[in-house]
A and B are shown apart, each in its own frame.
Chain A
Amino acid sequence: MTQVDIQRKEEVFMERIKNHPILDFKREEKVTFEYNGQKIKAYKGETIAAALHAAGIKQLKHSPKKERPRGLFCAIGNCSSCLMEVDGVPNVKTCVTKVEEGMVVREQKGHGDL
């Protein structure tokens, strides 16, 4: 592995990919949203789950019964492993919901109340 490769490897961790041999990621408008009271910066067009990942947050919920930690699994809205409370609405699939300025995202308790 060359020196450049090693450098690149260190850069990407817990961050967004900067240099890619094939893809060019358009990141223009920045937004800030809230996750469990913490301010997170993201780019418009990213899903909540992707933005949380980029900020190093992998754990999105706990299972309702045994309270086991759960994270992203399918990323296309099939599996419900990423459900969170978004702007007061529970059970939002954060893997297919885009971040918006000022959004309030929380880990929900249990099945969520409506």
Chain B
Amino acid sequence: MIYTDILIIGGGPAGLSAAITAAEKGADVILIERDDILGGQLVKQTHRFFGSKNEHAGTRGISIAEELKSKVFANDNIEVMLEGTAQGYYDDGVVTVSHEKRYKKIMPKKIIVATGASEKMLPFPNNDLPGVYGAGAVQTLMNVYGVVPGKKVLMIGAGNIGLIVSYQLMQAGVDVVGIVEAAPKIGGYLVHASKIRRAGVPIYTGHTIKEALGKESVEKAVICELDENWNEVEGSEKELDVDTICLAVGLKPISDFLIQAGCEMAYVPHLGGDVAIRDENLKTTNDKFYVAGDSAGIEEATAAILEGEVAGLSAVIDIGCSEESSENDRNEAKKQLADLRRGPVGKKIREGLKLAKEGKNAGKNRYSNIS
């Protein structure tokens, strides 16, 4: 049995930030990450971040990952388990982890779940053909391994991810044939959209993908217009010559571990799906568990880093190994989060967070047979 103060599941922006914050306050931390590198999705984000003045604005995602990683490895209070996967939580407080071909038992005082998100799928005929990728997969292939996904790409979704990945494809020399967006207007920031439009890539708003065509892999995509009730407009079909269809249609939180641990969950569409009900300090209904980052609700990396700080500080405060400054630091991090979520852009998140706090639409019964 391995004893520790805080176990953090997930080595992305939220988990790294939680580990650094808690360890700097003197807590012993074990950080497990299923990949063989730390950084989560930051390692493929070559664009410069927006966000608040304090939080990495103007820095590329890949550089933020490096910065967080070096802080983690420099801290003696943090033990990193790479290629480790949390398998389950037991009622006696033990978390089992597969790591280095062994099954390990960890007994932490507190657990922070920062497991991130997975990509949403879009239903259309032949969406399972090789050549249909999630946007994250395209980024991984291209920005981590330097391999292009194909020659001609149709992007589905004009939110920030769809726009940014389109631009990254163009930087890698790939032809982006068009961007399809079901909503009547572009969802992402206009700065990104303008860069792409200036390069001559059409953005088809009020359109959807009707089907993919191809035998062994994608050869064509059929798109069509949508009317004001989101119904397909007959006769508006257009065939596009593409070998790659990239889906940037949103993310959903990876909540499995929280559900298995018996945390009460709520289905909150604003946050991407099932999220743990939690208080403003990111503590769930299970006294041992905290959430941070995309697994707490889909936002972006800047919010994940701040949530990691809040969750890390909450865990430290609750186990009583904190300095007095922890409360102040937590208030400061919460204030920065509130600033980040201000204004019309943050409206959806604010509404979602309210629901996740109140536990409205709680899906408690949906999981009662599991926990």
Contacts and interface: CB of A to CB of B under 8 A. Distances in A.
Interface of A: 5, 8-9, 11-17, 19-23, 25, 27, 46-47, 50, 53-54, 58-60, 63, 68-79, 81, 95-96, 98
Nearest to A60: B130
Given A63-B128, A70-B128, A76-B140, A20 B34 contact: no
B360 interface: no
17 contacts: A8-B173, A9-B175, A14-B148, A17-B148, A17-B173, A20-B171, A23-B46, A68-B129, A70-B130, A71-B132, A74-B137, A75-B140, A77-B35, A78-B119, A79-B118, A81-B128, A95-B137
Interface residues of B, number: 37
B130 A50 contact: no
Contacts of B119: 74, 78
User: Which of B128, B130, B151, B216 lies at the interface centre, i.e. has the most chain A CB atoms within 10 A of its CB?
Assistant: B130
A21 B151 contact: no
B140 A13 contact: no
A76 B136 contact: yes
B141 interface: yes
Nearest to B134: A74
A11 B173 contact: yes
Contacts of B123: none
Contacts of B134: 73-75, 79
A27 B147 CA distance: 12
A46 B151 contact: no
Contacts of B133: 72-73, 75
A77 B34 CA distance: 9
A33 B215 CA distance: 27
A69 B140 contact: no
User: Which of B34, B144, B146 lies at the interface centre, i.e. has the most chain A CB atoms within 10 A of its CB?
Assistant: B146
User: Which of A14, A53, A68 lies at the interface centre, i.e. has the most chain B CB atoms within 10 A of its CB?
Assistant: A53
User: Which of A17, A46, A47, A60 lies at the interface centre, i.e. has the most chain B CB atoms within 10 A of its CB?
Assistant: A17
